[in-house]
Amino acid sequence: MVTVKEMKDLFKKELTPINNTLQQLSSNFDGLKDSVKFLSDKYDDLLRELHSMNEKHDLQSKNLKKAREELNEAKQRAAEAKQQVEELAQYIRRDCVEIAGIQPTRDLSCEAIVNSIGETIGVPITADDISIAHPIPSYNQSAAPKLIVKFTRRQVRNKFYQARKKLASKKAKDLPRLDLESDARVYISESLTPYKKNLFGQVNKLKKRLKWKYIWTYNGRIYLKQDENNVVHTFDTLEDFDKFQSRNHSTNN
């Protein structure tokens, strides 16, 4: 018969491995808790860092947006200032015209050329009407010679310019009292700024490509017209020209 002591020893013997296992599990659980706590702390740190990064990103985005807005405003102001300078430069030329087709010489003054043209187109010019007249330097040897005339009165200048069509069939040799033999055509045009001359050149190329009839300027503004029965299109800037090309391209398509 088994005694109580033997039973206790037997239970103790059987429970010892279990206790050892439980102790090992407990130790492992403690290690797991430490690992979970470590990961949890790291996760919290990561969240805080991510939150901080988001705040910095939002701040940088706001700063970038503000910088872009300020840059756009600066560009707009610069464009407006440039346009104002261009308008002023063209305004200063309001009393001037340019004459092409006749080259002044030592024996042929600019004033004599202006007087002869004025007589031809029915706008008599006196010495008091001319503020200054002189040749315009040209780097293009094939270009027709030009001279610029500044009038003392805008009214006289406008009459002179508006009568330019009367030169349509005239050549240099047809002008009175100049004793010229040249068959060169004589033209009167407004004095345009380099910007407006470039714009006029582009509009004129388009006119030729479209085979339209009329192009002219008045007070620095460029006018384009297909024929007598169509509307007039005006151009003050290259943006106007780009918009016209876009509309015309869309219409043709």
Q: How do residues 119-161 score in pLDDT, each as one tens digit? A: 999 999 999 999 999 999 876 777 777 999 999 999 999 999 9
Q: What is the pLDDT of residue 139?
A: 67
Quick one: 79 and 5 in the same domain?
Answer: yes
Q: What is the pLDDT of residue 130?
A: 98
Task: Give the Cα separation of 30 and 22 in Å (integer).
Answer: 12
Which secondary structure element, helix H or strand E, spans residue 76, and what is its range? helix 4-92
**Domains in the chain: how many in total?**
3
Quick one: 16 and 66 in the same domain?
Answer: yes
Q: Which domain holds residue 178?
A: 94-191
Quick one: 165 and 199 in the same domain?
Answer: no
Q: Which parts of the chain register pLDDT below 70?
A: 1-2, 4-12, 14-15, 19, 22, 25-31, 139, 250-253
Last residue of a domain, one of 72, 92, 112: 92
Give residues with Cβ within 8 angstroms of 151, minimum separation 6.
95, 96, 97, 129, 130, 131, 157, 160
Q: What is the pTM of this model?
A: 0.73
